Amino acid sequence: MTSTNPQESPAEKFHQKAEAYVAEKKLDEAIASCELAIKIEENYAPAYKTLGNVWQAKGKLEAAENYYKKALEIKSNWPEIYANLGSLYAMQQKWQEAISYYQKAVEVKPDFAGAYRNMAKVWLCLSNEKSATYCQYKAFSLEPEKATLEEILNLGKNLQQQGSLNEAISCYRIAIKLNANSAEAYQNLGAALKEQGNLDEATVCFRRAIELRPTNTNTKVETSTDISSNKYNLVSSQELEAQDTLVGSLNK
């Protein structure tokens, strides 16, 4: 665990050890290393964040909350900590607090797709389908590669039914990028464009859908207007920078 960076402070070195212990699931050792980092440098925010992660992993949510908030006192513009707090409150079914912190996360980091995915799930718990659909749209717009054809068509249909035509059209265009031979995507795009008044492009889409259907009998996708049928994972370590791992899951 010897550092190769001569500029690292002693607090940083202890924090690196703590992160290595977390990766090895040696949580008590991680806590000890973070406490040493804080003893050396009282306002070293990453150590407080890691302590929040560790205590959340150990199921001590009040302790985790305190450490996350201490980190925010030192570094107020840290979107991943806002997201962590959102997940922490969601685990306790404190839905409004969860929404508030996820919203702060995306205010600081507008391209934080994982926070939008989490927020969508919480809005569903609050039976607010319109807000959930909007958050799902934001997440897929930011990371279209994570959407399946069925998911994006379902989302487009929900948006269209809610009157959000521009967003629905965007979803159908993403669907066509995912599968250029999807008659369903062209049909839905044509219908949305027609509703918008763009008759010329709508006609092109309808013709393309007709062309595809005779030779692609399996292109139709059964879509559902029930957005709760789409499952969204919480923010994972793969979606964040290495130093910004989120602990916790609403699926527990």
Could you tell me if residue 251 is inside a domain? no
CA distance 150 to 167: 16
Residues 71 and 31 in one domain: yes
Could you tell me if residue 187 is inside a domain? yes
Residues 208 and 166 in one domain: yes
Residues 47 and 93 in one domain: no
Residues 139 and 158 in one domain: no
Residue 190 belongs to domain spanning: 147-227
Among the residue ranges 54-63, 121-130, 141-150, 235-244, the one predicted with the least confidence is: 235-244
Could you tell me if residue 238 is inside a domain? no
CA distance 41 to 207: 67
pLDDT bin (cut points 50, 70, 90) of residue 8 is confident
Could you tell me if residue 15 is inside a domain? yes
pLDDT of res. 143? 93
Residues 22 and 63 in one domain: yes
Q: Per the structure block, which two tokens stand in for 129?
A: 């389908």
Residues 45 and 22 in one domain: yes
Cβ atoms of 88 and 61 within 8 Å: the answer is yes
pTM, 2 dp:
0.77
Cβ atoms of 85 and 111 within 8 Å: the answer is no
User: What value, to the nearest 5°, has the Cα angle with vertex 61 and ends 56 and 63?
Assistant: 90
Residues 166 and 151 in one domain: yes
Residue where a domain stops, chosen among 52, 75, 98: 75
Stretch 36-61: mean pLDDT: 94
- The CATH number given to whatever domain includes residue 16 is 1.25.40.10
| Domains contained in the chain, number | 3
